[in-house]
Amino acid sequence: MSQRHPPFHRTALAALVLVLSGCAGTSTKPPSAAGVVAIGEVQGRAARSPLEGSVVTVEGVVTGAFSTGLGGWFVQDAGDGDAHTADGLFVLEGVDGPRAGTRVRIRGEVVEHGDQGGPTLTALVPQVVDILGDAPLPPAVRLQAPPHDWSQHEGMRVRIDVPLTISGHHELERRGVLLASFDGRLRTPTEVVAPGEAARIAAADNARRSLLLDDASAEPPAQVWYLPAQAQAPRSGSQIEAGAEGIVDIRWGQPRLQLTAPLQLDAAPRPPPPRVAGDLRLAALNLENLFNGDGHGGGFPTPRGARTQAEFEVQLARHVATIHALDADIVALMELENDGDGADSAVAALVSALNAEAGAWRFVPNAPLAGGDAIRVGMLYRGDRVRVHGRPAALLDGPFVHGSRPPLAQAFVPVGGGPALVVVANHFKSKGCGSPSGADADQGDGQSCWNATRTAAARALHAWLDTDPTGAGSALTAIVGDLNAYAQEDPLRVLHDAGWQDAFAVAGVERPYSYVFNGQAGRLDHALLSPALAARLAGAAHWHVNADEPASLGYRHDPARTPWRSSDHDPLLLGFHLSQSH
């Protein structure tokens, strides 16, 4: 998404007006209407005004006065009879402009305002603004679906007569902007369709259905005025009732409504912890960089994660609350500080906090097997429910030397007896485009960067597990963790083709997701089962405790010691029938 340009300051705008058009004036005595041009003629049918650079006179009603936040105001006329041209304009006047409901005549220069090389907003730099009196607002265009071309309504009043869904809030805290969507939530294209042309079509449909809702105020907003006081940080999936009203603004890369009335919100509730059947439960969760400084309250800020001891304590408390609520017997971890297994390590701090109330949690030691990355995978287990069977194993070569973290495998058996279960914790190379080249560069197929490395990791992982690295001799194996690939991408296809089964598909879970990026929901966090283990699956769930929560509620901003927004990924939970009597 494009970055918003800062609003015009009064002095800067005054200088711009003087340079472009001479000294602007305001009059309450309307001159002759001769020479007035319809706003639709100024807008034209193309992306840019056919009158760009010309000085014109237009007449209309002010529909939104946003001088403080946007550096100007909108004006709309009765139309030119052409449905393909917009009947609204933005007036670049960063002083207190006329209020909404004022009829004005404006003489000024036509400019295109907004991103260089991207969509722009046709606007006027005024030379003379004449106040003609009060007038009713022009009727709003009523929409039941996203228009084929938002620019046909640029600068115009619009009312959305169908419900919208909040799909993303990544710009809410900083800019007062929500990402809404028509026809339900947006899904990550490669979660539902194959990379390539199908993904590009799905991405285009997501763009068609998307609409930004803006507060038209200075950044950052002290309070988002269009949201109810009790819902300043709504979860993704919340519904906006039919009737959202605003003015179409196109200048920062995407169409948006500069809202003119509060939204009516049906807030999505926070879901309770999932419950799955079975006699053994396995969880996996990304800790979003659990770093504990020097282990004695110092050593902050850390390279990643908490910046202070106080932040770390909140972060730790949230993970403890999450793990307790999941009530799993074994927990695979990602983004754990790679600082050894000693008493001062991050994993020791986590186990100590879990056991603060007479718990039986233990961790699988793997410091010599963790590789050289700043973070590693890890594994916890309840010693009163399961015991380790043999030693842990890790794959330290190939794509796991750099980028993808070494996978950790450990076999467990239930305390009461039963077959061995091999759990493999994974964290593949991320999608971040830092310095990829060749096949790892973004191929434009929806899989982003480093896909070749992740795909190689999937092949190497399968080949390694074929050798029974733990020596357990068990056909019951679970691959879990953050594969940094969505369900239809190459790494997952490699593993599916090799016989690994998607636990969520086996369990019949519809539309699973664990991560929301740019308002699109999909799965980076997977559970893949050997055929024998898939036959013992009793249930699968993601707990949507994190991905739908705004980042503003994270441990760096909110001191609450609850599970909510303990990470940016949702944990997963699996249940198995593993007893000997099965």
Is 229 buried (19+), middle (13-18) or exposed (0-12) by CB count in 10 A? exposed
CA-CA distance, 230 to 425, in Å (whole number)? 39
Q: Is the pLDDT of residue 252 over 90?
A: no
CA 172 to chain CA centroid, Å, is: 11
Give CA 303 to chain center in angstroms. 23
Residue 127 CA to residue 113 CA, distance in Å, equals 17
pLDDT for the residue 95: 76
How many angstroms separate the CA atoms of 178 and 216, rounded?
12
Which of 373, 306, 369, 343 minimizes the C-alpha distance to 566? 306
Give tens-digit pLDDT for 129-155: 999 999 999 999 999 999 999 999 999
Specify the pLDDT at position 32.
42
The helix (H) or strand (E) run that includes residue 123 is strand 120-134
Tokens encoding 557: 């901003």
Quickly list H helices, 332-449: 346-354
pLDDT at 117: 67
pLDDT, position 580: 57
Q: Where are the domains of the chain?
A: 10-137, 143-149+156-266, 280-576
Q: How far is residue 447's CA from residue 14's CA, in Å, rounded to a whole number?
A: 46
**Strands 25-27 and 120-134: what pairing?**
parallel
The answer to whether 324 and 270 have CB atoms below 8 angstroms apart is: no
DSSP 221: -
pTM attached to this predicted model: 0.91
Query: What's the gap between Cα 61 and its chain centre?
Result: 38
Least confident window among 6-10, 52-56, 429-433, 545-549 = 6-10
pLDDT tens string 314-350: 999 999 999 999 999 999 999 999 999 999 999 999 9
pLDDT at site 69 = 87
Residue 21 scores a pLDDT above 60 = no
What is the pLDDT, as a whole number, of residue 12? Answer: 34
Tokens of 334: 């990602």
Residue with tokens 């609850």: 562
Q: How far is CA 104 from CA 108, 110, 153, in A?
A: 13, 17, 20
Reported as a single tens digit per residue, the pLDDT across 170-219 is 999 889 999 999 999 999 999 999 999 999 999 999 999 999 999 988 77
What is the torsion angle, in degrees rounded to the nearest 10, for the CA atoms of residue 293, residue 299, residue 300 and residue 301? -90
280-576 in CATH: which number? Answer: 3.60.10.10
Question: Which has the minimum average pLDDT: 9-18, 310-319, 421-430, 540-549?
Answer: 9-18
Per-residue pLDDT at 424 exceeds 70: yes
User: Residue 19: pLDDT above 50?
Assistant: no
Task: Look up residue 466 and give its amino acid.
Answer: D
* pLDDT value at residue 581: 55
Other Cβ atoms within 10 Å of 428 Cβ, number: 28
Minimal CA–CA distance to 203: which of 458, 486, 545? 486
Q: What is the pLDDT of residue 6?
A: 34
DSSP E strands, 135-260: 141-143, 157-160, 164-168, 178-181, 186-187, 210-214, 239-240, 244-249, 256-259
> Structure tokens of 153?
């309504």
State which amino acid sits at residue 481.
G
Which pLDDT does position 1 carry in this prediction? 32
* CATH assignment, 10-137: 2.40.50.200
| CA 326 to chain CA mean position, Å | 24
pLDDT at 230: 85
Check: CB of residue 66 under 8 Å from CB of residue 59. Answer: no
Chain centroid to Cα 309, Å, comes to 27
Mean pLDDT of the chain, nearest integer:
92
Instruction: Give the percent of the chain with pLDDT over 70.
Output: 93
For 522-578, what is each residue's pLDDT tens digit? 999 999 999 999 999 999 999 999 999 999 999 999 999 999 999 999 999 999 999
Please tell me the predicted confidence (pLDDT) of residue 178.
96
Question: What average pLDDT does range 377-404 have in this prediction?
Answer: 96
Rg (CA), the chain: 28
Section 35-51 average pLDDT = 95
Residues comprising the chain, all counted: 582
What pLDDT is recorded for position 92?
94
Give the whole-angstrom CA distance, residue 15 versus residue 24.
11
pLDDT for 33 equals 57
Q: Give CA–CA dist 70/155, Å, rounded.
A: 13
Q: Which of 283, 191, 302 is nearest to 545 (CA)?
A: 283
Neighbours of 522 (CB within 10 A): 25
3-state secondary structure of 157: strand
